[in-house]
Structure 1
Amino acid sequence: MGQRIGKQHHRKKTIRIFGKSLKSRLAISYLFIILLTMVITDMALASILQSYFRSNVRESLDNQLSIAVGTYERYYADDTLEENIANDEDAFWRQSTALVQIISLNREVLLDSTGNLPATPLLDEDITIALEGRSGSSIFISPQSGERLMAVSRPLISNDEIVGVLRFITSLKGVEQTMRIIILNFVLFGLGILVISGVISNLLGRRVIRPIEELTKTAEIMATGNYNVVNQKFHEDEVGKLSDTLNHMASEIKKKEQLKNDFISSVSHELRTPLTAIKGWAVTIKDPATDREMLEQGLGIISEEADRLKDMVDELLDFSKFVSGKIGLELQTVDIRELFDFIQTHFDDRAKRESKDFQVKTSENMGTVYADMNRLKQVFINLLDNAFKFTEAGGTISISMERDRKMVDFIVEDNGSGISEEDIHKVKEKFFKGKTSRSTNGIGLSICDEIALLHGGELIIASQVGLGTRVTFRIPQGELR
């Protein structure tokens, strides 16, 4: 007992950990999606903003260059670049706050507003574009300060010829500082969203996990054998459907348990009756005073009750085989007229004893069916036995056959007490026993239904209370494939 409790405790602990784990995985999944979305969005926004700021800087430098180049071409183009530089003519670029370079056609720096003239020609892309007659720009890192710089260049034209390049250079330090502030704000904003999302994800996770935890608790209680518990349904979703299924399963198990208990009680009672008779007559026969006539009567009753017990045991064994799926069919070509002759011989005496009209409806050429002969006899004996039980003296019981191209219908019909609407859908269920005193162990029709299914057919029951019952045993007429 202690070991069992320990196992249940371990199982509960495992399920509880699994529940937390599932909730954590849900929360982590939500957070991962949000984080990934934020990172992609922030990177895209940062790239767009950086391009925007750099474009503004370039546009500002380009506007300043345009004014300076226009001034040069209008007022200073008559002199050479070298003469203008020698005369310190900086009026055409004086209004710019950027670093200014004047570059010759062979890429040598003729003037640098910082006073530092590079020793080698410049090979930057913006200069190359300007020497081709267009405005060019480039970004590079200053070898002196290590800052990121932007350079914009334009050609200087005199007499429709390019005579040099005017270049404005400015630092991107301000842009980069602005971008760092923006990115920091993005990060802080993202962290705030992650915290809020974490709280919401936890709440959503609890909303999803709670019904599953309730299902787990209910299943654990049912595992102990208590099927009276009903699981609470939270939402109309897949988990809610599972909850309905679990409750329905518990209801069906309770019903089957009750049917099984009733079946055991019924079988015990039915077994006790012949055993009591056998025991009583055995005692009577054992008495030396018993005369010959009573002795023969007792032996006859013992034989009848023994046969009755054998039939009950055989039925129980068959039922056990059907339930376990170990039953098989011995298929052969069955002559239907021969089968009906056997049935008539088997029930004629009973019909006379009970004053009932038993009709076996035959014709000259009834044909054959591919089936298990012994199982067919078992089905018809069972169905007709039920019909005799529930039909009063003077009533009519019949068996007939109808055939179409593919199926053969064997019909057992009576005008007996009939079956109520409440019970007609249950009579084929295992262990179901009717409410009347004539009802027996509740497995006969279940076995008939299984035999029909094994043949690839079905058992159809139609009935009205007080009018009678019609049972159709339908199977394929040809060889099964």
Structure 2
Amino acid sequence: MERPGSMIKKGIGRQIVMHYFIVIFLALMLVEVVFLFAIRTYYYDTINNMISSHIDATVRSVLVSTNINDQSEMEYLNQVLGLLKLPEAELQILDGKGTVLISSSGFEADKPVQTSDIPQALASGGTAKWIGRQATTGEPVMAVTTTLQQNGGQVYLARFVTSIEKVNQRLTEITLVSMAVIAIVLFIVLIVSIGLANSIVRPINNIIAVSAQMAKGRFDVRVEGDYRYELGEMGSTLNYMAEEIVRSNQIKDDFISSISHELRTPLTSIKGWSETLDSGGYDPDETRIGMGIIAKETDRLIGLVEELLDFSKLQQNEMKLTMARVDLRELLKEIVLNVWAKAELKKVQLRLDADGDAYWVYGDANRLKQIFLNIVDNAIKFSHESSVIVLHLVREDGWVRTSVQDNGIGIDEENLKRVKDRFFQVNTQGGGTGLGLAITQQLVELHEGKLDMSSELGVGTTVSVMLPLLEEGPAAKELDTDTAGIEEV
């Protein structure tokens, strides 16, 4: 079980908890302020309305039933005081200057009342309210003042003063209760947010721990757990990455083993025949055979090294292409002538299926020849004896499609998905580096083309290369005659 301190330790978990907590806290504080303001307004308005209702109900009868001309001022004021007084409130009768002439409490004020309700009532001729503290006692009070005007023009003010201390106490109790409710809600929010943060952080920590082990070279570990949404995708991606690294490492190991064998075989032949020839005593025919083997194995070594160099250049984006107009039909004719001897050894027939028109593309002639030589060479290597390989050349909506179709051993669906991967070989006993199709793929892409493969085990394979068609016209002809048409990529 985690310690409380570790539940919100520094990190993304704490950030989640803090942000979630702060948002809820601010929302609750806003609700609290609005609630307390509404409650305070309700209580104060209730008192004010009660006094105002009393004033509305009694002032008219006071003005009708009393007349200052028939009696002395003090008698008139005592009569008004008796008619207007209200339980639980002190009634003061004031003159227009705020001097207290008479009060229901019997206390005499030593100075005029100067609160804001006096001038407001005089100015409006109606009722005004003031909330504050009594000057003598410091007690919180509410004062409601209204004007009393007789026919003679004499203006008096009736001022009702009531204590709101109990109301304020009630408001304080409501405030404390609401704050306690907020504290409980915030505690629940804290617990929930910690749980929410842990539900996010725990998988992240698990993924971090697994990725740390992978960084140390342990690619057998996997992210365990059925995580949802982005975390699930992250875990699946990390597991997929580990699987790809394991597969790449296996391919790399196979490549190293294969290339070591490929290099050792010609070197052994070269070394053996060199020592044999160096010892002397052989007739010219044997010497010629030995020199031929040395030359053949040397060419084979050069091909392997060049393939590795090409792959290295492509990986580092250092491959330079000399671009110009190229007729694919003529290029394929040259390729057929180049591999004719190899095809004859397996009694494989090569056939070019194209009309008599030129198929112009914009590319590097040598690299394009490398692309199609590799494809045709593979077709011959994996074809049966006395079979036919057809090279189709067609135009398709601004593209030139070159398809090399054989009736060889074919490739199963699983290996077809990986056959263009670097270092991968369907038949490890067939020799080579496993880089041929990977290099071909990248060269095609450098020519802004596409390479597709379809195959069925035991039926044959078709490799298609799509290249942008260079339409005939003035611009196309300039590429053939103007040196500005040559560029390096």
Q: Structures share a fold, TM > 0.5?
A: yes
Residue aligning to 1:7: none
1:359-416, Cα deviation, whole Å (9 max, x unpaired): 2345433242111111011111111110111112211123232123421112212111
Kept in 1: contact 2:401–2:466 (CA 8 A)? yes
Q: % of aligned pairs identical?
A: 31
Q: Which runs of 5+ in 2 are unaligned?
A: 1-5, 471-475, 477-486
Kept in 2: contact 1:102–1:165 (CA 8 A)? yes
Kept in 2: contact 1:111–1:117 (CA 8 A)? no
**193-202 vs 87-96, which moves further:** 87-96
Aligned counterparts of 2:214 and 2:276: Cα–Cα separation in 1: 52
Residue aligning to 2:43: 53
Residue aligning to 1:138: 130
Kept in 2: contact 1:137–1:150 (CA 8 A)? yes
Residue aligning to 1:72: 62
Q: 2:31 aligns with which of 26, 38, 41?
A: 41
Corresponding letter in the other structure for 1:42:
E
Taking the TM superposition and a 5 Å limit, the aligned residue runs for 1:232-247 are 232-247=224-239
Aligned counterparts of 2:66 and 2:453: Cα–Cα separation in 1: 116
Aligned counterparts of 2:203 and 2:154: Cα–Cα separation in 1: 81
Residue aligning to 2:84: 93
Aligned counterparts of 1:88 and 1:436: Cα–Cα separation in 2: 123
Q: 1:298 to 1:86 in 2, by over 3 A?
A: closer
Corresponding letter in the other structure for 1:453:
E
Residue aligning to 2:14: 24
Q: 1:84 to 1:377 in 2, by over 3 A?
A: same
Q: Say whether residues 1:205 and 2:197 are aligned partners.
A: yes
Q: Say whether residues 1:269 and 2:261 are aligned partners.
A: yes
Q: Say whether residues 1:463 and 2:455 are aligned partners.
A: yes
1:301-350, Cα deviation, whole Å (9 max, x unpaired): 11001001101110111111112222132111113343233213212222
User: TM-score by structure 2 length?
Assistant: 0.88
Structure 2 counterpart SS, 1:331: strand
Structure 1 counterpart SS, 2:26: helix
Q: Say whether residues 1:168 and 2:160 are aligned partners.
A: yes
**310-319 vs 412-421, which moves further:** 412-421
Taking the TM superposition and a 5 Å limit, the aligned residue runs for 1:25-424 are 25-77=15-67, 79=70, 82-85=73-76, 90-105=81-96, 107-113=98-104, 114-117=106-109, 119-120=111-112, 122=114, 124-125=116-117, 128-129=120-121, 132-158=124-150, 163-424=155-416
**152-161 vs 27-36, which moves further:** 152-161
Aligned counterparts of 1:117 and 1:18: Cα–Cα separation in 2: 63
Q: 1:136 to 1:310 in 2, by over 3 A?
A: same
1:17-39, Cα deviation, whole Å (9 max, x unpaired): 99742111111112111211121
**129-138 vs 322-331, which moves further:** 129-138
Kept in 2: contact 1:340–1:362 (CA 8 A)? no
Kept in 2: contact 1:408–1:476 (CA 8 A)? yes
Aligned counterparts of 1:194 and 1:18: Cα–Cα separation in 2: 16
Aligned counterparts of 2:242 and 2:351: Cα–Cα separation in 1: 45
User: TM-score by structure 1 length?
Assistant: 0.89
Aligned counterparts of 2:108 and 2:94: Cα–Cα separation in 1: 13
Aligned counterparts of 1:414 and 1:350: Cα–Cα separation in 2: 15
Corresponding letter in the other structure for 2:73:
E
Q: 1:333 to 1:187 in 2, by over 3 A?
A: same
Corresponding letter in the other structure for 2:339:
F
Aligned counterparts of 1:125 and 1:33: Cα–Cα separation in 2: 42
| Cα displacement (A) at 1:65 | 3.2
Kept in 2: contact 1:334–1:371 (CA 8 A)? yes
Kept in 2: contact 1:127–1:153 (CA 8 A)? no
Taking the TM superposition and a 5 Å limit, the aligned residue runs for 1:413-452 are 413-435=405-427, 437-438=429-430, 440-452=432-444
1:175-226, Cα deviation, whole Å (9 max, x unpaired): 2222222222222332233233222222221111100000000001100111
| Cα displacement (A) at 1:95 | 4.7
Q: 1:19 to 1:445 in 2, by over 3 A?
A: farther
| Cα displacement (A) at 1:81 | 7.1
Residue aligning to 1:6: none
Structure 2 counterpart SS, 1:437: helix
Aligned counterparts of 2:28 and 2:195: Cα–Cα separation in 1: 21
1:257-298, Cα deviation, whole Å (9 max, x unpaired): 111111111111111111121122112212222222111100
Corresponding letter in the other structure for 2:14:
S
Aligned counterparts of 1:109 and 1:423: Cα–Cα separation in 2: 108
The count of aligned residue pairs is 466
Structure 1 counterpart SS, 2:162: strand
**434-443 vs 308-317, which moves further:** 434-443
| Cα displacement (A) at 1:148 | 3.0
Q: 1:89 to 1:326 in 2, by over 3 A?
A: closer
**63-72 vs 28-37, which moves further:** 63-72
Corresponding letter in the other structure for 1:25:
Q
1:407-465, Cα deviation, whole Å (9 max, x unpaired): 11122121111111221111111111113633632111111111111111111111122
Q: 1:474 to 1:95 in 2, by over 3 A?
A: closer
Aligned counterparts of 1:270 and 1:18: Cα–Cα separation in 2: 59
Aligned counterparts of 1:181 and 1:87: Cα–Cα separation in 2: 40
